[in-house]
Amino acid sequence: MPFAFLDDVAIADLAFEAWGETLEETFVAAAEAVLCAMVEDPQSVRPQVRRPLRLRHEALDLLLFTFLQELIYYKDAEQLLLRVPQVRLGTADGVHTLEAEACGERLDPSRHQLRVDVKAVTLHRFSLAQTPSGWKACVVLDV
C-alpha cells in the first residue's frame, strides 16, 4: 500500500506518510495506514458491515483529519475495524465534501492480530500537500 510508518518523527506516538496520484487515492491510503496501526494484516478484516461516511469541512486537510477520526470513532463506539475502498471528494458552497462507504467487521482478537490502540489523530506536523507526482499526507497518531 502507498503508505509508510516513519522511524523517527514521533518518539511516543506513531507517524506515517500516505500518498497517491490523486487526492482520493491519498485519502484511501491514509485510512489503510490507520487500520494497519491497529491490526497486523488488513486483509484479515472482512467486509461484513458497512458504514456510510458523509463529511464536510472548510479546509481540505481538516477534511482528511475528520475522515481518519471517524474511523477511530467506529473502532471504540462499535468495535469496528473498517477499510475504505474508495472515497468521492467534491466541493459544495465552498466547502470540501467527502462521501464514502467504509466496510469491515467487528474486531475479533482470535482472528485479527492486533497492534496498538489509536487514541486520536493529532494535528502535530499534520499536512496534506501536492507533490510533483500527486498528493502526500503526513499524520501523527496518538497511540
List of residues contacting other proteins (CB under 8 A): 5-15, 38-40, 62, 69, 72-73, 75-77, 79, 107, 109, 113-126, 140, 142-143
66 or 97: CB nearest other proteins: 66
44 or 86: CB nearest other proteins: 44
Angle at 120 between CA 116 and CA 124, to 5 degrees: 110
What is the separation of C-alpha 19 from the centre of its chain, rounded to a whole number of angstroms?
A: 12
Dihedral angle of Cα 62, 66, 68, 70, to the nearest 10 degrees: 180
- Alpha carbons 143 and 140: distance in angstroms, whole number: 9
Least distance from other proteins to the Cβ atom of residue 33, Å: 12
22 or 79: CB nearest other proteins: 79
Least distance from other proteins to the Cβ atom of residue 87, Å: 20
